[in-house]
Structure 1
């Protein structure tokens, strides 16, 4: 009998239940994976609260790493004993073992430990597609990145430094500002006491930045738009403070701006794209350009506590669950 976190209604962390579940043998095109580490992402909270709808009851969690225990008929590129990670597929990563579509499993190289890989699946791949695909950075740019001390943010700080990009990062406290700077963020804006747009303009001699990466959403939208140059790009890649609603007339008035709302599924599929993205992330880590480890660790049974910590902004960097 396996263990998993499930929920039967939307709501606060208290709706998460730690239960026994049946896990059978993998069918055609499937593999059974025993998890070693499970990532906690803010998108998990969206599902738990109903911000993103799911058919209930359901599991929770989108990415994890582990070892393949069994494979079903037709699976040829994943073998028993392989160390793998994933970030796509059905919800249900908050479990000690599960059956997954083999096509979403990413083989882990020998140079990447499971503990490290758990911070790279969704978070590292997000940094990759934001900086390398959504708005390809070439080096020399100055950018604004919100939540620079978050799970994706700390990887983004290091990636920006490796690319020769000047990163202005927003954070919620002086402590998080120091963490972001230590990871390569050039300038920080502490949002509890600094005006974001005014500070960006001061740092850029009044010009603004060509691109803003905004995972916060509603509460930072106006500041993000006001920080952009004429014909600049807002990459709206999250809504932790609430949904974003934009009047096209405002976009024109503020400088003929571009706005995109990217989704991982459109950049990490087909499988060849996903594997290429992962390979670049792994190469950055093995080259020493990115160093990332979990900053908070909870037992799988403590998933509700992990959510409480994440929602209350008590965390920085990556949070993982351990079965």
Structure 2
């Protein structure tokens, strides 16, 4: 049996139910993993409220770390006793243990703790694909990154610094701006006290940036487009303020032949070999010290509702984990 957080209906954090589920043996292509720590991400909120609908009832959570307890037929990259971590569909990580597909479960090096592994897989592999698989970025390029003090943002700040990329962040308090700067952002704009779009033009001498990485969505979309250089790339990879409304595609031409993409991590990690390569790259960044994992909040599994309250209220800094 394993204590598991599930929802029966879409809605607020009060929808969480903690139940004991029978955990069986893994089938072909699956593993059973005993969790040590579980990561929280904004996609969990989207799924809970129904922005990304799921067939209910369903267990929640996309990311965790732990020890492999059993291996199904055909699984060759993991064995019983291995340390492992993952970000993966289907949801079900908010649990003491689970059986799941093995393809996106990755061997976790000894140099990376279970807490770090749980806190960084989805966020870290997101940063990996943003910087290396969505648009070619090189030293000297300039990036605008919204929510730079969040879990993904603090990793992106460090990643940019390690690659020689200028990152201009935005955040909602002076303290969060300082945190982004401490983690490698070149500049950070407090969007509550400054006109961030005007300040960005000032910082870039009116040229704009090569790439915008925007997980905020509706509230920042128009300003983000206006922040790009001609031929720049807009990467919209989240909807924290709500989904971007429909717009005239011709605007991209009028604003300088801009490019726009809406990627998801699950497309990238859908291929087993690609997923393992992305995780290996991430582990190397962390093991080398180029990227440090900031765990700002810890909650018990039983307090998962409180953890979601904090996420939605934007009261979190860095990554949030559930301790098992």
Q: Does TM, scored on the shorter chain, surpass 0.5?
A: yes
Match of 1:286 in 2: 287
Residue aligning to 2:226: 226
Shift of 1:74: 2.5
Q: Deviations over 1:52-92 (max 9, x none)?
A: 00000001111110001111223222111001111112111
Match of 1:214 in 2: 214
SS across alignment from 1:305: helix
Do 1:62 and 1:92's aligned partners in 2 also have CA atoms closer than 8 Å?
Answer: yes
- 2-structure distance, mates of 1:135, 1:41: 24
Structure 1, unpaired ranges of 5+: none
> Aligned partners of 2:289 and 2:53: how far apart in 1?
39
Structure 2 CA distance for aligned equivalents of residues 204 and 215 of structure 1: 22
Q: Secondary structure at the match of 2:277?
A: helix
Corresponding residue pairs, total: 323
Partners of 1:213 and 1:282 lie apart in 2 by 22
CA distance in 2, matches of 1:273, 1:138: 21
Aligned twin of 1:295? 296
Aligned partners of 1:214 and 1:17: how far apart in 2? 32
Q: Is the 8 A contact 1:142 1:165 kept in 2?
A: yes
Instruction: Give the corresponding residue for 1:59.
Output: 59
CA distance in 1, matches of 2:272, 2:13: 33
Q: Which runs of 5+ in 2 are unaligned?
A: none
Q: State the shift of 1:15 in Å.
A: 0.6
Is 1:264–2:269 an aligned residue pair? no
Match of 1:78 in 2: 78
Question: Is 2:169 aligned against 1:169?
Answer: yes
Give the match for residue 136 of structure 1. Answer: 136
Query: Normalising to structure 2: TM-score of the pair?
Result: 0.98
TM-score (normalizing by structure 1): 0.98
Q: Cα offset for 1:115? A: 1.2
Q: Aligned-pair RMSD on alpha carbons?
A: 1.0
Equivalent pair of 1:30/1:100 in contact (CA under 8 Å) = yes
Deviations 1:75-112 (A, max 9, x none): 22211100111111211100000001112210011111
CA offsets, 1:98-138, max 9 Å, x none?
Answer: 00111221001111111111122101100000011112321
Greater displacement, 67-76 / 100-109 = 67-76
Q: 1:13-92, aligned counterparts within 5 Å? A: 13-92=13-92
